[in-house]
Structure 1
Amino acid sequence: MKITLINGSPKRRDSASGVILSQLKGYMKSDASLCELHFFTPHPQPEQLQEAADSDVLIFAFPLYVDGIPSHMVSALLDLETVIREKKKKRTVYAILNCGFYEGCQNAVAIKMMENWCCRSGLEWGYGIGAGGGGMVSALANVPAGRGPGASLGKALCRLAEDSAAQRAGETVFVQMDFPRFAYKAAAEFGWRQAVKKNGMKTKEILKQWW
C-alpha cells in the first residue's frame, strides 16, 4: 500500500502543516510505503500529480484560509482530479486542517469542502482532523509528538496512522491545544505587537481604521 502525505501549506518551510505531517510519520508503521509531496503552488508538477494519483491513501495537511481551502490548493486539487480520473482505483483521502483560532471546530467547513471534492472526484472519504491553535504548532516542532500542549493532537494523529493503514473511514475529529485559552490569546496578541514594532509601526495602529 502506498500512502502519500501532501503538505498543502504555501510556506516552503517551517509550516505548521509540515510539523503535523512529521509527527504523523512518527506514528506510521515502519513497513508503510510513504511518499511525501508539497503543493505550494497552484499547479504542481506533472510528476507530483502522478505520484499522488498512484497512491492508495492520500493524506492532506494545510492551513485554514478564510474558513476554507487556500486558493492555490483549490487549483491543485482540480489538477489532481483530472489525473485521478484517468486511472480508476480505490483511493482513500484524509485531511488535517489547522487554524489560528483556538477552537478546532473552526475547520469544519473546509473539511466538508474536502469531503465534497472526494465525492466529485470518485474518491473514498476517510475523515478529517480539525486542529485549533495552529499558531503554536510550529513552536512544538522539537517537542515529542503527543506530549505537552500537543497531547490531544498527538492522539488524533496516532489514530489516523492506524486508520489510514487500513483505509478505514470515521467521524471528523476536532482538537485544540492542551493550553489555556486565555494564555493562547495573550501569546497571540503579544506576537502581533512584536510584529507591529518590527515593521516600524505603533501598537495603537493595529486598531486604526484606514477608511
Structure 2
Amino acid sequence: MKITLINGSPKRRDSASGVILSQLKGYMKSDASLCELHFFTPHPQPEQLQEAADSDVLIFAFPLYVDGIPSHMVSALLDLETVIREKKKKRTVYAIINCGFYEGCQNAVSIQMMENWCCRSGLEWGYGIGAGGGGMVSALANVTAGRGPGASLGKVLCRLAEDSTAQRAGETVFVQMDFPRFAYKAAAEFGWRQAVKKNGMKTKEILKQWW
C-alpha cells in the first residue's frame, strides 16, 4: 500500500501543516510505503501529480484560508483530478486542516469542500480533522508528538495513522490545543503587537479604521 502525504501550505518551509505531517509520520507503521509531496503552487509538476495518482491513500494537510481551501490548492486539486480520472483505482482521502482560530470546528466548511471534491473525482472519502490553535503548531516542532499542548492532536493523528493504513472511513474530528483559550488569545495579541512594532508602526494603529 502506498500512502502519500501532501503538504498544501503555500509556505515553502516552517509551516504548521509540515509539522503536523511530520508528527503523523511518527505514528505510521514502519512497513508503510510513504511518499511526501508539497503543493505550494497552483500547478504542481506532472511528476508530482502522477505520484499522487498512483497512491492508495492521500492525506492532505493545509491551512484554512477565509473558511475555505487556499486558492492555489483549489487549482492543484483540479489538476490532480484530471490525472486521477485517467487511472481507475480505489483511493482513500483524508484531510487535516489547521486554522489560527482556537476552535477546530472553524474548519468544518473546508472539510466539506474536500469531501465534495472526493465525490466529484470518484475518490473514497475517509474523514477530515479540523485542528484549532494553528498558531501554536509550529512551536511544537521540537516537542515530542502527543506531549504538552499538542497531546490531543497527537491522539487524533495516532488514530489517523491506523485508519489510513486500513483505509477506514470515519466521522469528522475537531481538536484544539491543550492550552487555555484566554492564554492563546493573549499570546496571539502579543505577537501582533510585536509585529506592528517591528514594522515601524504603533500598537494603537491596530485598531485604526482606514475607511
Secondary structure of the structure 2 residue equivalent to 1:77: helix
> Which residue pairs with 2:204 in the alignment?
204
Structure 1 unaligned regions, length at least 5: none
Distance 1:124 1:79 in 2: 18
Residue 97 of structure 1, CA deviation: 0.3
Report 1:170-181 matches (<5 A). 170-181=170-181
Distance 1:11 1:198 in 2: 21
Q: Secondary structure at the match of 2:142?
A: coil
The answer for the alignment partner of 1:114 in structure 2 is: 114
Instruction: Encode CA deviations 1:6-57: one digit per residue, 9 max, x unaligned.
Output: 0000000000000000000000000000000000000000000000000000
Distance 1:141 1:204 in 2: 33
Give 1:199 shift: 0.4
Distance 1:13 1:47 in 2: 21
User: 1:11 — aligned with what?
Assistant: 11
Aligned-residue identity in percent: 97
In structure 2, how many angstroms separate the alpha carbons of the residues matched to 1:209 and 1:82? Answer: 45
The 3-state SS of whatever aligns with 1:95 is strand
Deviations 1:125-177 (A, max 9, x none): 00000000000000010000000000000000000000000000000000000
Q: After TM superposition, what 4+ stretches of structure 1 lie above 4 angstroms from structure 2?
A: none
d(CA) in 1 for partners of 2:95, 2:15 = 16
Task: Tell me the equivalent position of 1:75.
Answer: 75
Residue 180 of structure 1, CA deviation: 0.2
Partner Cα separation in structure 2 for residue 60 and residue 170 of structure 1: 16
TM superposition score normalised by structure 2: 1.00
Structure 1 position 63, deviation (Å): 0.1
Q: 1:49 corresponds to which residue?
A: 49
Q: CA deviation at 1:190?
A: 0.1
Kindly report which structure 2 residues correspond to 1:182-193, keeping only aligned pairs within 5 A, or say none: 182-193=182-193
Could you tell me how far 1:86 is from its partner in structure 2?
0.2
TM-score w.r.t. structure 1 length? 1.00
Output the CA distance in 2 between the equivalents of 1:45 and 1:200: 40
CA distance in structure 1 between the aligned counterparts of 2:38 and 2:66, rounded to whole angstroms: 21
Q: For 1:173 and 1:155, how far apart are their aligned partners in 2?
A: 11
Per-residue displacement from partner, 1:32-87 (whole Å, max 9, x unpaired)?
Answer: 00000000000000000000000000000000000000000000000000000000
Cα offset, 1:119, TM superposition: 0.1
Q: Which residue of 1 aligns with 2:162?
A: 162
Distance 1:210 1:180 in 2: 33
User: Aligned partners of 1:80 and 1:152: how far apart in 2?
Assistant: 32
RMSD across aligned C-alpha pairs, in angstroms?
A: 0.2
- For 1:81 and 1:42, locate their aligned partners in 2 and report how far apart those are by CA, in whole Å: 13
